[in-house]
Copies of this chain bind each other. A is one copy, B any other.
Amino acid sequence: MPASVESMPARIAAYRARVEGVLDRWLPPTERVPQRLHAALRYSVLGTGKRLRPILVYATGEALGAAIERLDAPAAAVELIHGYSLVHDDLPSMDDDDLRRGRPTCHRAFDEATAILAGDALQVLAFQILAQDPAFAADAPVRAHLIELLAEASGTDGMAGGQALDLAAVGRQLTIAELEDIHQRKTGALIRASVLMGAAAAVERNAGRLSQLARFGQLIGLSFQIQDDILDVEGDPATLGKATGADRAKDKPTYPSVAGMAQAKHRCRELHALALDALADFGPGGDVLRWLADFVIERDS
């Protein structure tokens, strides 16, 4: 029986609750030395966030028949990488943001040195979890492949490179192709990796399916960042948990500023349609991924 569309929000909520528990278990307790650093790690990761990336790990992995226990470590790892990137991106010498998810950013709640170290420690914890999770004790090749996927998405060809290009783009005129390249690296690479890591943890190994999933991940990753750009113009600060207009104030090129708002929304819908096409062979098992493709461009926060 296909999963009904009505059950999707409950399923997503269950994934969200599950990764919260996994993160809570892997993050060192605040009582452990160095306490202030551990408090900063937990503050930066627990209790807030959409958890889109771990949800994609769970949804893709379960669609391909993975036991959910094999998805916990990759789900936590992608969220830790995402969390570390937010902590570092918010720093004064980067985007200089005071508010994140409705709370003071890490360097505001703690201090700048602690925020730098917290980001560093969140990044390495992501790799440590993948290296240590007992679910892969008898499956070292999959463990190594998960680590490879995460590293590729996080480095200079992916997220860190995208942030560097994003900072370099301030005040410059970009073409749409240049902007899409930045978005792909900065946001798209980790979202794509989340889909691929869910697939890698599954038993099924079908090269055709993997390339369809890679394409799906890439398309929703780009649409996610364009929707982010749109929300920075049209979103509600209370719902978003941060001020809007930040991109314009910083003179950052965005999809609406480069291509116009109408084109930005059109591109989102186009990417959404292409993402659904990429799932054409997946049958009802892909319903949760389809629901997530909708969510990415319909979300208001």
Contacts and interface: CB of A to CB of B under 8 A. Distances in A.
Given A123-B120, A156-B34, A114 B147 contact: no
A127 interface: yes
Given A124-B160, A147-B147, 19 more contacts: A33-B165, A34-B165, A37-B156, A91-B113, A91-B116, A93-B112, A94-B113, A94-B116, A119-B120, A121-B156, A123-B123, A125-B151, A128-B155, A131-B144, A131-B147, A132-B151, A136-B144, A140-B141, A140-B144
Interface in A128-175: 128, 130-132, 136, 140-141, 143-144, 147-148, 151-152, 154-157, 160-161, 163-165, 167-168
A29 to B, nearest CB: 11
Contacts of A152: 128
Contacts of A250: none
29 contacts: A33-B165, A34-B164, A36-B164, A37-B156, A37-B161, A37-B164, A38-B156, A88-B120, A91-B116, A93-B111, A93-B113, A113-B164, A114-B164, A116-B116, A117-B160, A117-B163, A117-B164, A119-B120, A120-B123, A121-B156, A121-B160, A123-B124, A124-B151, A127-B147, A128-B155, A131-B151, A136-B144, A140-B141, A140-B143
A33 B181 CA distance: 11
A256 interface: no
A108 to B, nearest CB: 13
A100 B56 CA distance: 43
Copies of this polypeptide in the complex:
2
Contacts of A41: 156
Interface pairs A-B: 4 shortest CB-CB: A140-B140, A128-B151, A93-B112, A131-B148
A113 B117 CA distance: 15
**A-side binding surface: helix, strand, loop or mixed?**
helix
A285 interface: no
A152 B111 CA distance: 24
Contacts of A121: 155-156, 160-161
A92 to B, nearest CB: 8
A245 interface: no
B127 A151 contact: yes
Interface in A30-51: 33-34, 36-38, 41
A127 B34 CA distance: 24
Contacts of A132: 148, 151
A37 B148 contact: no
A284 B121 CA distance: 39
